Amino acid sequence: MDITAASEHVGAIVSGVDLRDLDDSTVASIEQAWAEHGVLFFRDQHVSEDDHTAFAERFAEIDVNKFFTPVATHPQIAEVRKEADQIVNVGGGWHTDHSYDVEPARGSILVARDLPPSGGDTQFLSVGAAYDALSDGLKDTLSRLRAHHSNEHIFGKDAGYDEDDERFHNADAVGGATHPVVIRHPQTGRRLLYVNAAFTTHFVGWTREESKPLLDFLLGHIANGDFDYRFEWKPGSVAMWDNRSTWHWAHNDYHGQRRLMHRITVRGEVLEG
């Protein structure tokens, strides 16, 4: 197995490994690289739904998504699907998954199933590198803040998605949680800037109006700081990302074409400042 950094700040390409046949030592090496690089990319894999599930369970218990349509034969796997006649895609903007949960998911493992001829790349970035680039004064201020995260505006009854869109369900299962703005990665101890554009609504003890200038600054700093890497999907591609240390963005540049991915999310833990 060979692990090569994909960019300066985030991601690594893993080659020379078959995800269907892993010993404990190889799994440990993958787990360490996952924590260090934030996202791992594998090419030329031939994993079935059973293989996908078994691989995910080597790292943590599976966290079944409350909102996405499950694969009919494998309810632990969520469909990330856009049909040729649909306009809105899933994840079409910078975000991190499940930050609205009290115990945010550790990460997700995405398998390419049906790809458009071109487009549909996924971009990732490092919120650890974004934190490192802040001034010491702002780091000190942020170390004392907590932020509220919610999914109601995304999946609630008044959200922008069409209520008849069968890709999303259980829209009443909405909720929120608060987390430190600066967290430590549970495995590496690295400080991470834990806010995101999709789910972070305001700082605890501040109004939304008071929160907006600082939150907008942080979101812009993360998104525009050249901390990213763009991954081009090909048949047989698999990506696994850490939801605590990365953001991601599924690009919606393949209108009129179908794209189907299978995603498994694995459980995490309470985040500490």
pLDDT tens sequence across 69-91: 899 999 999 999 999 999 989 89
Catalytic pick among 106, 185, 244, 248: 248
The domains of the chain are located at 2-266
Q: Point out the catalytic residue in the list 9, 37, 52, 95.
A: 95
Q: Is 148 a catalytic residue?
A: no
Please tell me the pTM assigned to this model. 0.92
Cβ neighbour number for residue 193 with a 10 Å cutoff: 25
The tens digit of pLDDT for each residue in 238-250 reads 999 999 999 999 9
The position carrying tokens 């791992």 is 40
Judge whether 169 counts as a catalytic residue.
no
Active-site residue 221, yes or no? no
Most confident by average pLDDT, 94-98, 154-158, 242-246 = 242-246
Q: Residue written as tokens 């997700």?
A: 108
Ranges of H-type helices in the chain: 24-37, 49-56, 127-132, 136-142, 152-155, 208-223
CA 80-85-87 angle, 5° bins: 65
pLDDT in tens, 170-211: 556 678 999 999 999 999 999 999 999 999 999 999 999 999
Residue-averaged pLDDT of the chain: 93
Q: Is the pLDDT of residue 153 over 80?
A: no
Tell me the CATH number of domain 2-266, given options 3.30.43.10, 3.60.130.10, 3.40.50.300, 3.40.50.1820.
3.60.130.10
Res. 23: pLDDT tops 60: yes
* 106 carries an active-site annotation: no
133 contacts: CB under 8 Å, gap ≥ 6: 221, 225, 227
pLDDT of residue 158: 58
pLDDT value of residue 140: 98
